Amino acid sequence: MNRIIIKDLPKFSTKEEIEKEFSKHGTITDIYMLRNSRNNRNTFRRVCFVGYGTSEEAKVAVEYRNNSMFCNHKIRVELCTKEETKESKKPLNQHKLSSSERQAYYNREFYITNLQEISTAAIESELNKIGKLEQIEECEKGIRVKFEKRECALDFYKNCKVICGRRINIKIFDDTRSAIDTSHYSTLFFDFQMVLSTLTNKSRENLLQSKSNVGISVSLAETDLVQKTKHFLAENGIDLNSAPVRDKSALIVRSADLLGVLDQISCKFTTSVAPSGALAILHFENEKEAAATQKQLNLKRHKNGIVYAEYSLKGTSTKSVSETISPEKPSQTKLIVKNLPFQATKSEVSKLFGCFTKVVDVRIPQKEDGTARGFCFITVESTGAVDHLIDVLGVSTHLYGRRLILERALK
């Protein structure tokens, strides 16, 4: 076990003091201080867990620190032990597995997070103690692993809580979703404040004072912003449709007040700002500075909006989506729009899509009580128009706060 437990610490102890003292025995990967949550007092319970990179470092820390003095207090230091339950000793019975355990047993593939700054080699070495790995791959904000044997995969899912001394989060990897989908926000997502910031003062005033078709106007402004951003990223060698390989020394930052956000960064970097002024690509001298900046800015509130900072994709190709070879698509002039807002009317949908092509018909299915079912069918004049609508409006266009999902309608 790579974790130790420290007891009888002073109540005034800080995380920095503990890290400074116990880092003398090895590389610390995690520090967790127990706190009393009763009555919202949040007082320190004088117990702390410290994780090390290897079990040898943890044993050395216990040997030197147990029954020693820390800030004039005698402390007790012990190795964390893994308790074996009666169920773990029983032979495997597939019929008594839960649905998630059964999925873990047959998939054998997992997505692990909270392993920042720990090398893939160290993670692989730790996991091989549980069972031989068939595959290990670094993804955005985590590691994707696959075990050779199903029994090892189930044992990992049920019993493994710590890797290299750090508490981990485990999700069963779903083949129908890529690892990039675990990110909270899409690179091409712009909130309402960002969309407004890209408009001229006159256009912004007209939009806010308008009492009709406000939702359509905002959707069109957002669509224009997304298309310009896609073109800007392509010019900088970033293909959003490529494999999700992240560049840990570069960040993509989005904010309504981008210049104000960039002023908060203390380390050196080079930047490329999109013409919209709502997005920028930052290149740092090393991965450590990029990680510190990402932690400083990401999902933090700035003025009236939120700052989004994520690692950039490695630019390996500058080809656009239209230049890539794609399989033949059926000749269909009808598409389905999912996640449609219930308050959206037929005329609003027709006006939004009519800005990009000629709309022949719009049909919004309804329930028995007359309310919309949350999707609609749109018929256009040609199959090329269907492709164009999916490419333009199907990326990250929102209508009344809902992201529209466009697909070809099945015959």
214-236 pLDDT, tens per residue? 778 888 888 888 888 888 888 88
Written as six digits, the tokens of 353 are 């899509």
The pTM of this model reads 0.50
DSSP assigned state of 174 = P
Contact 252, 240 (CB under 8 A): no
164-221 pLDDT, tens per residue? 888 888 888 865 444 334 343 467 777 777 787 777 655 666 665 655 677 788 888 8
* Cβ-based neighbour number of residue 85 at 10 Å: 9
Question: What distance in Å separates the CA atoms of residue 337 and residue 374, rounded to the nearest whole number?
Answer: 9
pLDDT (0 to 100) of residue 208: 58
Question: What distance in Å separates the CA atoms of residue 177 and residue 327, rounded to the nearest whole number?
Answer: 20
326-352 pLDDT, tens per residue? 445 556 789 999 999 988 899 999 999
User: Which long-range CB contacts under 8 A does 83-90 form with residues at least 24 apart?
Assistant: 88/158, 88/159
Domains of the chain by start residue, with CATH = 3-79 (3.30.70.330), 91-182 (3.30.70.330), 192-203+223-313 (3.30.70.330), 330-408 (3.30.70.330)
350-392 pLDDT, tens per residue? 999 998 989 999 999 998 888 888 999 999 988 889 888 988 8
Query: Residue 322 above 90 pLDDT?
Result: no
Q: How would you class 258 by CB atoms within 10 Å of its CB: exposed for 0-12, middle for 13-18, buried for 19 or more? A: buried
